[in-house]
Amino acid sequence: MYLSKLFIPITKDLPAEAKIKSHQLMLRTGMIKQSSAGIYSWLPLGFKVMKKIEQIVREEQNFIGAQEMLMPTIQSSEIWKESGRYDDYGEEMLRIKDRQGREMLYGPTNEELITDVFRSSVKSYKSLPQILYHIQWKFRDEIRPRFGVMRCKEFYMKDAYSFDLTDEDAKKSYNKMFFSYLKTFRRLGLKAIPMAADTGPIGGDLSHEFVILAETGESQIFADKRIFEIDLNKYDFTDESLSKVRKDFTSFYAVTDDKFSEKKFNEQVDNKNQIKTKGIEVGHIFYFGDKYSKPMNCLIDDKSGKKISVKMGSYGIGVSRLVGAAIEANYNDDVMKWPKPISPFDVVILPSINKNNNENLQKAEKIYKELKKQNVDVLLDDVDENMSNKFKKHDLIGIPYQIIIGSKSEENKFEFKELKSKSELLSVENIKSKLKE
């Protein structure tokens, strides 16, 4: 992609409500545009990052055997009346009527809908276990939408639902998802800490939030640094290993403010390992047994032919929130550096251009073509402006690698650098192999 052709409407005047780094940066680099309070259009740059995150989330869900499907955004109120949540959910639910006067709603979550899908087709324990998921827009009429994509009314979420015959099997599904989430966030280049959580309006008895550290987060967190030293590679997906993952992670102190106890924190974590900061919730998993299957009559024949309510869990990841969260976790001193797996481009070529000489631009185009051939997702900054402005702009766009073609380049060698570090002179061949790494 050539930068001059890319639709990146850079904003200079920031609206006063853009208080945190990610919101400001996303507006400045034209990743999003607010359409109304808490509702955004995703412009090409922002959309590209979100799609990369979505794809990693999808691959990790598929890896554990979860099956992707798609449920609608608009739901009928009937099923919510069956579960009893139509009234409980309150004003966060956007309620609408169709032309026949039927009560509909824009789904804030999908426990009811998936239970309805499941009960109409699955009748026997032989079909269990199952995990189904979709990645779909949600709507919650948040009282105070803020921080850009972090707390919106309309947001993009991956939500998965597990179905098992017994509590014991259901806990295995839960543990599988627990481990899968740790792997997912690691692949996204983020350090997420699982924390025991309250189950809130979704209800149930086992729940963890996955929180990444960032000073601008909404929840205060207290944790033990040593949690980051646990090596995920030593676990696998056997039942034994799965329950060990959860045990090992939860053996370290890690709570949000509502569960915090100064005394316990000081007893369990010595000073040098104490983390006291803020965090952003990027995922949340629940086990809630028959909370929905019972009132909604989602019944399964067990081995003896007895009908029992299927045991369910639900597992969310805030895909659109993660775009902002990744910025919060990686933007320092006016430089944004995307984690490589979710960067909008793998590398940017920056030729020094002036009116009398387009030799650098020609060299850049040649390298561009070669990298494209190797499937490298490359951006060429062909905009005619001075290099110091270019560097400033790319400090914000945050592509992790740069190839600079200017006064320091030699005949067949160019400056190659990783953002925030020193450059080296390399041939195109060497650059290619560096990028492959």
| Residues making contact with ligand ATP (CB under 6 A) | 109, 140, 142, 151-152, 155, 157, 281-284, 316, 318, 320-321
Residue 140 interacting entry, from ligand ATP, Mg ion, none, C-beta within 5 to 8 Å by type: ligand ATP
Residue 195 interacting entry, from ligand ATP, Mg ion, none, C-beta within 5 to 8 Å by type: none
For ligand ATP, which is the closer residue by CB, 207 or 402? 207
Q: Which residues does 56 contact at the CB level (< 8 Å), separation at least 6?
A: 184, 187, 188, 341, 342
CA angle 175, 178, 179 (to 5 degrees): 90
For Mg ion, which is the closer residue by CB, 139 or 345? 139
Tell me the closest approach of the beta carbon of residue 130 to ligand ATP, in angstroms.
21
Tell me the closest approach of the beta carbon of residue 157 to ligand ATP, in angstroms.
5
Residue 415: strand pairing partners: 404, 425
- Crossing angle (nearest 10°) for helices 21-28 and 319-330: 100
CA distances 286 to 67, 114, 210, 270, 360, Å, are 18, 15, 12, 31, 56
Residue 151 interacting entry, from ligand ATP, Mg ion, none, C-beta within 5 to 8 Å by type: ligand ATP
Tell me the closest approach of the beta carbon of residue 209 to ligand ATP, in angstroms.
7
Residue pair 44/5 in contact by the 8 Å Cβ criterion: no
For ligand ATP, which is the closer residue by CB, 322 or 364? 322
- Say how far apart CA 403 and CA 351 lie, in whole Å: 8
Residue pair 423/416 in contact by the 8 Å Cβ criterion: yes
Residue pair 413/426 in contact by the 8 Å Cβ criterion: yes
Tell me the closest approach of the beta carbon of residue 202 to ligand ATP, in angstroms.
6
Could you tell me where the beta strands, DSSP code E, fall in 107-202? 130-139, 154-164, 192-196
Q: Which residue has the tokens 């450059």?
A: 423
For Mg ion, which is the closer residue by CB, 21 or 284? 284
Q: Which residues does 199 contact at the CB level (< 8 Å), separation at least 6?
A: 205, 206, 207, 286, 288
Residue 223 interacting entry, from Mg ion, ligand ATP, none, C-beta within 5 to 8 Å by type: none
Residue 142 interacting entry, from Mg ion, ligand ATP, none, C-beta within 5 to 8 Å by type: ligand ATP
Residue 278: strand pairing partners: 220
- Say how far apart CA 204 and CA 218 lie, in whole Å: 24
For Mg ion, which is the closer residue by CB, 284 or 291? 284
Residue 279 interacting entry, from Mg ion, ligand ATP, none, C-beta within 5 to 8 Å by type: none
Tell me the closest approach of the beta carbon of residue 360 to ligand ATP, in angstroms.
43
- Say how far apart CA 54 and CA 318 lie, in whole Å: 10
Closest CA to 325 of 211, 221, 222, 223: 211
Closest CA to 150 of 270, 271, 23, 255: 23
Helices (H), 206-341: 239-250, 262-268, 319-330
- Say how far apart CA 322 and CA 338 lie, in whole Å: 12
Q: Which residue has the tokens 């009928």?
A: 76
Tell me the closest approach of the beta carbon of residue 322 to ligand ATP, in angstroms.
7
Residue 282 interacting entry, from ligand ATP, Mg ion, none, C-beta within 5 to 8 Å by type: ligand ATP
Tell me the closest approach of the beta carbon of residue 262 to ligand ATP, in angstroms.
23
For ligand ATP, which is the closer residue by CB, 103 or 142? 142
For Mg ion, which is the closer residue by CB, 284 or 337? 284
Residues 12-31 that bind Mg ion (CB under 5 A): none
Residue 321 interacting entry, from ligand ATP, Mg ion, none, C-beta within 5 to 8 Å by type: ligand ATP
The contact pattern for Mg ion, residues 272-311, with x = CB under 5 A and - = no contact, is ------------x---------------------------
Tell me the closest approach of the beta carbon of residue 304 to Mg ion, in angstroms.
37
Tell me the closest approach of the beta carbon of residue 217 to ligand ATP, in angstroms.
10
Tell me the closest approach of the beta carbon of residue 200 to Mg ion, in angstroms.
7
For ligand ATP, which is the closer residue by CB, 323 or 435? 323
For Mg ion, which is the closer residue by CB, 174 or 416? 174
For ligand ATP, which is the closer residue by CB, 30 or 318? 318
With CB atoms as reference, the residue minimizing the distance to ligand ATP is 318
Around 317, how many Cα atoms within 13 Å sit in the side-chain half-sphere?
29
Q: Site residues (CB under 5 A) for Mg ion? A: 284
